[in-house]
A and B are shown apart, each in its own frame.
Chain A
Amino acid sequence: MSVLTGGHSATDLARERKFGSLYSRNAKAVVGRGLMAAKSSTWLVMVSGFFEPVLFLLAMGVGMGSIVGTVQGPGGEEISYAAYIAPALLAVSAMNGALYDSTWNVFFKMNFAKLYQGMLYTSLGPLDVAIGEIFLALLRGLLYATGFTAVMGVMGLLTSWWAILVIPASVLIAFGFASFGMGITSFMKTFQQMDWINFFLLPMFLFSATFYPLSVYPQVIQWFIQAMPLWHGVELLRQISVGSFSPATAIHVGYYLLMIALGIMLTTARLRQLFLK
């Protein structure tokens, strides 16, 4: 009994009345669980998630790039086509890594494994669960980004030391998608509804200035794409990869900070509605 009454975090919580039953400062237990589960099951998925953008880079960047030649980079300088699309693919990779964990994994844990139901019968609050799950998604995003950045380096696509910053920037992008993804997934009840997420993601991947500049579109479509999150990620990483910054850089970062804040609010509110009704 002394273990419980002595070192228990719940007693510290009494002082932190503000978040009451939402948070018990123990998101690390959720993270620990995720790592232990990943140890046995999801390795293959992680590997395939890493290779996907690498294959795209080889096919489009190196293969198609040989007939495209050089294109104009963010600062106006000429760069190889592979160097042009590589940061965009990195943004997509961060997005996919974060979304895989925060949508499909969360969907399964919520509706089939009843994992959260079990967690919330312990001292954990919904905010602990949300933070823990989002952190795991970020960890995956970080792994993908680091691996892909190394590939870019090996292929000679990094022309500036600034490029090392694409790794934290990728985590920022992953954070934005993960925090929103979990909140949106909480509305989904069937596999058909989960497919809507893919239906939204594929065009965003293809048309967010990933493979060619935004200027090819008419003005109205440009506005629409600029409202989408991936475009900001693509532009941000593209600027960082060549070390060419502008006021737009701050807008891209701000976009993600806002997305993260709104996403966490949404996710926590939804978890509370679903499990503490």
Chain B
Amino acid sequence: MSGGATSLLRVHNEAIRSPTPSPTQSESSQSGFDMNRPSVISARNLTKAYGDLTAVDNISFDVPAGESFGLLGPNGAGKSTTMKMIGGVSQRTSGTLSIMGLDPESHGPEVRAHLGVVPQQDNLDEELKVRENLIVYGRYFGLPLSYLRPKADELLEFAQLTDKANSKVDALSGGMKRRLTIARSLINEPRILLLDEPTTGLDPQARHILWDRLFRLKESGVTLILTTHYMDEAEQLCDRLIVVDKGRIMAEGSPAALIREHSSREVLELRFGSERNATIGVELQGVGERLETLPDRVLIYAHDGESALEQVTARGLRPMTSLVRRSSLEDVFLRLTGRSLVD
């Protein structure tokens, strides 16, 4: 991945030639994330309606170059629809969208020339072998074979699939298919990589290998746009994220900032048994910053979980089990999007 160094060099050269900031650079200052980096994606009042259903409802966001940006939300929140609009394969109902200064709707092929896409479901070409998948996909971008042959080998190495180069796609495991899909999305050296639930359905080993590969890409300067409903994945990979629900942005910020803003530092989880959980809430009033009663347990959000537990026992309550843990993005997510199922 030498792309990062090359593009740095180019930015440097441009800076020498034009001391005044370019329009894209001044635009990025609105994002408030990093004033020095131009935003590669800029969405304003983006809306997508399918008949009566508004899948994406008036959302605005900016993504500066090199950032790893997450879209979090329950099923049907509008994450995939947003991704499709960025790729120019779904037409927006209203609003504006600019990908590296281009409208993906009118400049679809040009925008996609700089995008890598990892769809939710693998759509590898099962009629082709592993290495052929990479080469043929590169041909779709109009890239020459003299470039694609060494590039395919490099990407097989990156995806740890070199010894599978001439295997059939069928013969790969789920994790291998996912890695091949990611390798395939990199064939055109994209500046932006769209990952729609990249690790859904993978075992922990496969997920960790994938995270490692994605982190390397981020280090090389690729902008990552990622949807997920794994909170640990978002905490691992995202510099900044938006939580979407029913097509709207519920919150925006870095994982740490979101936890600070929408949850406490620690969470105390208590179990009193299914019958008592519901009624015990009254007796716990005043402990911690906030209290949440669930069918199977009671959650107490507090700055200091241990001292909250002491207060509980001081009131003469004896929980069957107790657990003090750090607040996670999952707490934020559930607080913002609710606990009911939204199928």
State the A residues within 8 Å of B (CB). Answer: 1-4, 7-11, 13-14, 20-21, 24, 26, 29-30, 32-33, 36-37, 40-41, 113-115, 117-125, 275-277
Residue in A1, A32, A121 whose CB lies within 8 Å of B139: A32
Give 24 pairs: A residue, B residue, CB < 8 Å, sorted on A: A1-B3, A3-B144, A4-B113, A4-B188, A8-B113, A8-B141, A10-B142, A14-B110, A21-B105, A21-B109, A32-B136, A36-B128, A37-B127, A41-B127, A113-B123, A115-B123, A118-B125, A118-B137, A120-B89, A121-B89, A121-B112, A123-B142, A124-B109, A277-B90
What residues on A are CB-neighbors of B125 within 8 Å? Answer: 33, 37, 113, 115, 118
What residues on B are CB-neighbors of A33 within 8 Å? Answer: 125, 128, 136, 139-140
How does the 8 Å CB contact mask read for B225-240 relative to A, with 1 for contact and 0 for none? 0000000000000000
Q: For the complex, what is the distance from the CA of A277 to the CA of B88, rounded to whole Å?
A: 9
Q: For the complex, what is the distance from the CA of A124 to the CA of B113, rounded to whole Å?
A: 9
Please give me the residue from chain A that is nearest to B88 by CB atom: A21
Q: For the complex, what is the distance from the CA of A32 to the CA of B141, rounded to whole Å?
A: 13
Contact A29 B136 (CB under 8 A): yes
Contact B140 A10 (CB under 8 A): no
Q: For the complex, what is the distance from the CA of A42 to the CA of B127, rounded to whole Å?
A: 10
Contact B142 A26 (CB under 8 A): yes
Contact B7 A1 (CB under 8 A): yes
Contact B128 A124 (CB under 8 A): no
What residues on A are CB-neighbors of B114 within 8 Å? Answer: 4
**Nearest 8 pairs of A and B residues by beta carbon:** A21-B108, A122-B140, A37-B127, A114-B123, A9-B142, A29-B139, A24-B109, A121-B117
Q: Does B306 contact A (CB under 8 A)?
A: no
Known: A37-B125, A37-B128, A114-B123. A10 touches B109 (CB 8 A): yes
- How many inter-chain residue pairs (CB < 8 Å) link A and B? 113
Q: How distant is A198 from chain B, measured CB to nearest CB, in Å? A: 23
Q: For the complex, what is the distance from the CA of A10 to the CA of B106, rounded to whole Å?
A: 13
Contact B123 A123 (CB under 8 A): no
User: Interface majority SS on B: helix, strand, loop or mixed?
Assistant: loop
Q: For the complex, what is the distance from the CA of A121 to the CA of B120, rounded to whole Å?
A: 13
State the B residues within 8 Å of A (CB). Answer: 3, 6-7, 87-91, 105-110, 112-115, 117, 119, 121, 123-129, 132, 136-137, 139-144, 147, 188-189
What residues on A are CB-neighbors of B107 within 8 Å? Answer: 20-21
Q: How distant is A48 from chain B, measured CB to nearest CB, in Å? A: 18
What residues on A are CB-neighbors of B91 within 8 Å? Answer: 276-277
Please give me the residue from chain B that is nearest to A3 by CB atom: B147
Q: For the complex, what is the distance from the CA of A148 to the CA of B123, rounded to whole Å?
A: 37
Given contacts A30-B140, A36-B128, A277-B90, 16 further A-B contacts (CB under 8 A): A1-B6, A3-B143, A11-B110, A21-B107, A29-B136, A29-B142, A32-B136, A32-B139, A36-B136, A37-B125, A41-B127, A115-B125, A118-B137, A120-B89, A122-B141, A125-B109
Contact A117 B110 (CB under 8 A): no
What residues on B are CB-neighbors of A121 within 8 Å? Answer: 87, 89, 112, 115, 117, 119
Q: How distant is A256 from chain B, measured CB to nearest CB, in Å? A: 30
Q: For the complex, what is the distance from the CA of A29 to the CA of B87, rounded to whole Å?
A: 20
Please give me the residue from chain A that is nearest to B106 by CB atom: A20
What residues on A are CB-neighbors of B143 within 8 Å? Answer: 3-4, 8
Please give me the residue from chain A that is nearest to B147 by CB atom: A3
Residue in A2, A40, A118 whose CB lies within 8 Å of B123: A118
What residues on B are CB-neighbors of A119 within 8 Å? Answer: 140
Q: How distant is B235 from chain A, measured CB to nearest CB, in Å? A: 28
Contact A1 B136 (CB under 8 A): no
Q: For the complex, what is the distance from the CA of A256 to the CA of B89, rounded to whole Å?
A: 33
Q: For the complex, what is the distance from the CA of A203 to the CA of B243, rounded to whole Å?
A: 58
Q: How distant is B150 from chain A, measured CB to nearest CB, in Å? A: 11
Contact A123 B189 (CB under 8 A): no
What residues on B are CB-neighbors of A7 within 8 Å? Answer: 142, 144
Contact B141 A113 (CB under 8 A): no
Q: How distant is B88 from chain A, measured CB to nearest CB, in Å? A: 6
Q: For the complex, what is the distance from the CA of A123 to the CA of B116, rounded to whole Å?
A: 11
What residues on B are CB-neighbors of A10 within 8 Å? Answer: 109-110, 113, 142
Please give me the residue from chain A that is nearest to B124 by CB atom: A118
What residues on B are CB-neighbors of A14 within 8 Å? Answer: 110
Q: For the complex, what is the distance from the CA of A122 to the CA of B87, rounded to whole Å?
A: 9
